[in-house]
C-alpha cells in the first residue's frame, strides 16, 4: 500500500478524519442523527457546504453509507459503517480528555 507521508497509523487515520468538523459529524452520527437537517442543527453550526463535503468524503472512505429516503427533492439518510462506528473509541477519548481538562464542559444531552 502507498502511504501519502508515512505508514504511521495515527498519521493515516488523521488523513481520513483529522479535522474538527469531520469528528463532530461522526460524533453526531454516533449519537443517532441521520439526516442532513439533523446534522446541520448541532450547536456548533457546521456550514452547509462543509457538511456536504465531509459527508461525501466519509462515504468515499467507507466510513458511512447513505440511502435516499425521499425523491423530489432527494433527501438522504446517513449511517456509519462498522468502521465508522469503531471511531467511537476516539470520540470517547476526546470527550474524557475535555471533561478532565477544560473546566465547564458537559456532554450534550
In the complex with its own copies, the residue whose CB is nearer, 62 or 70, is 62
Picking from 75, 93, 92, the residue whose alpha carbon sits closest to that of residue 30 is 92
Check binding of 52 to its own copies (CB under 8 A).
no
Q: How far apart are CA 11 and CA 35, in angstroms?
A: 30
In the complex with its own copies, the residue whose CB is nearer, 70 or 83, is 83
Check binding of 12 to its own copies (CB under 8 A).
yes
Exactly one of 16, 50, 77, 79 binds its own copies (CB under 8 A); which one?
16
Give the range of 7-15, 33-41, 48-56, 69-77 binding its own copies by CB under 8 A: 7-15
End-to-end Cα spacing for the chain:
42
Would you say 53 and 73 are in contact if contact means Cβ atoms under 8 Å apart?
A: no
Based on C-alpha coordinates, what's the Rg of the chain? 15
HSE of 101, CA atoms in CB hemisphere, 13 A: 6
In the complex with its own copies, the residue whose CB is nearer, 49 or 106, is 106
Check binding of 41 to its own copies (CB under 8 A).
no
**Which residues sit at the interface with its own copies, rule CB under 8 A?**
1, 3, 5-16, 18-20, 23-24, 27, 42-45, 83, 86-87, 89-108
Amino acid at each position: 500500500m502507498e502511504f501519502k507521508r508515512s505508514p504511521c497509523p495515527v498519521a493515516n487515520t488523521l488523513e481520513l478524519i483529522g479535522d474538527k468538523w469531520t469528528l463532530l459529524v461522526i460524533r453526531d452520527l454516533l449519537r443517532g442523527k441521520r439526516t442532513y437537517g439533523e446534522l446541520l442543527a448541532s450547536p456548533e453550526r457546521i456550514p452547509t457546504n462543509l457538511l456536504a463535503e465531509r459527508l461525501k468524503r466519509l462515504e468515499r472512505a467507507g466510513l458511512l453509507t447513505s440511502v435516499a429516503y425521499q425523491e423530489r427533492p432527494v433527501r438522504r439518510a446517513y449511517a456509519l459503517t462498522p468502521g465508522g462506528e469503531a471511531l467511537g473509541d476516539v470520540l470517547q477519548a476526546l470527550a474524557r480528555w475535555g471533561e478532565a481538562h477544560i473546566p465547564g464542559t458537559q456532554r450534550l444531552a
